[in-house]
Amino acid sequence: MSNIHNIRNFCIIAHIDHGKSTLADRLLELTKTVEQRKMREQYLDQMELERERVITIKLQPVTMRYALNSESYTLNLIDTPGHIDFSYEVSRSLAAVEGAILLVDASQGVEAQTITNVELARSLGLVIIPVLNKIDLPNSRVEESAKELVDLLYIKKENILKISAKTGEGVPELLEEIVRRLPAPRISQIQSPPRALIFDFEYSSHQGIIAYVRVSDGKFCPAK
């Protein structure tokens, strides 16, 4: 069981087509969560429709193990949809984490859904890591997009990370910043009545219904 201080719960929020699923792929590769021979593009998009339309429709949680300075961390990522039609999925994801990677396509800049996601993350008190993606593209507007993020988040330009999820450039540094910038989960009131948020579930033919929950207070024990 992981030390709670070494756990990071986060999601990736972005406007559609800004590279969210590709970034999730690189994180899975770098943390060796998925064997190289089993890796495929949009790995977390399991639904056939998602892969056909190249968009994320349903949120997807995944746990990654990551070592930094000889210390082991558990990174719990919830991959979220980028399309405005699936905003309820995004809101459930944000309610279950402490931080969010705000991913912006450097060739497109801040767009409508970017602003909507930021407002929702702020309302929940999440720590936001701003990231400019697709810096490898010849038409990328890194400086202009960075200024848009500065104006949106009221931050210094130095706080913005620049990556290419496609090539992997800058992604190892992003992993380090996830550990450094995002807070660990707060310690729940163990003596309080048990309270938790069910943010997703799936059905297994072997185990039945599997619920993904975020415990807020108290504790849950297996039924005897």
Pick from 3-7, 78-82, 131-135: least confident: 78-82
Pick from 82-91, 113-122, 127-136, 167-176: least confident: 82-91
pLDDT at position 222, please?
76
pLDDT at position 61, please?
81
Same structural domain, 196 and 175:
no
Same structural domain, 80 and 128:
yes
Among 181, 198, 216, give the residue marking a domain's end. 181
Using CA atoms, how far apart are residues 217 and 187, in angstroms rounded to an integer? 8
Mean pLDDT of all residues in 107-125? 90
Same structural domain, 88 and 122:
yes
Counting the structural domains of the chain, the total is: 2
Q: SS3 letters for 92-150? A: HHHCCCCEEEEEEECCCCCCHHHHHHHHHHHHCCCEEEEEEECCCCCCCCHHHHHHHHH
Same structural domain, 122 and 224:
no
pLDDT digits (tens, 9 = 90+) for 178-200: 999 999 988 766 677 888 877 77
Using CA atoms, how far apart are residues 99 and 222, in angstroms rounded to an integer? 29
Percent above pLDDT 90 for the chain = 48
Same structural domain, 137 and 213:
no
Q: At 68, which CATH number? A: 3.40.50.300
Mean pLDDT of all residues in 22-39? 79
Q: Identify the CA nearest to 131 among candidates 6, 9, 19.
A: 19
Same structural domain, 15 and 123:
yes
Same structural domain, 207 and 173:
no
Same structural domain, 92 and 197:
no
pLDDT at position 49, please?
36
Same structural domain, 120 and 217:
no
Predicted TM-score of the model (pTM): 0.82
Structure tokens at 6: 């070494």
Report whether 76 contacts 8 (CB < 8 A): yes
- The boundaries of the domain holding residue 213 are 189-224
Same structural domain, 98 and 204:
no
